Amino acid sequence: MKADTHPNYPEINITCSCGNKFKTHSTVGRDMNIEVCSQCHPFYTGKQKILDTAGRVEKFKQKYGM
């Protein structure tokens, strides 16, 4: 292999907004903050939320007289 062709791949700390922390390797080279992870994402936790889209549509129609 050629020397100096591959980027640095250091170990970094990832911190989620829920407080979960874990380590991984990345070419970013610095610690990262993320908004969701497997500990707090609804798909992985099984606590999925159903959005009230009908309520939003009704609110929009009332606001603009439709």
CATH code at position 33: 4.10.80
Residue 51 has what pLDDT? 60
> Which tokens is 57 given?
């549509």
Range of the domain at 56: 11-64
Query: What H or E segment, with its residue span, contains residue 34?
Result: strand 32-34
Q: Is residue 3 part of a domain?
A: no
* Interatomic CA distance for residues 12 and 29, integer angstroms: 7
Q: Is residue 6 part of a domain?
A: no
Q: Is residue 4 part of a domain?
A: no
Is 16 in contact with 35 (CB distance < 8 Å)? yes
| pLDDT tens readout for residues 6-63 | 889 999 999 999 999 999 999 999 999 999 998 888 787 877 766 666 677 788 888 8
Q: Is residue 1 part of a domain?
A: no
| pLDDT tens readout for residues 34-44 | 999 988 887 87
Whether pTM exceeds 0.75:
no
How many domains, in total, are found in the chain? 1
Q: Is residue 2 part of a domain?
A: no
Residue 49 has what pLDDT? 65
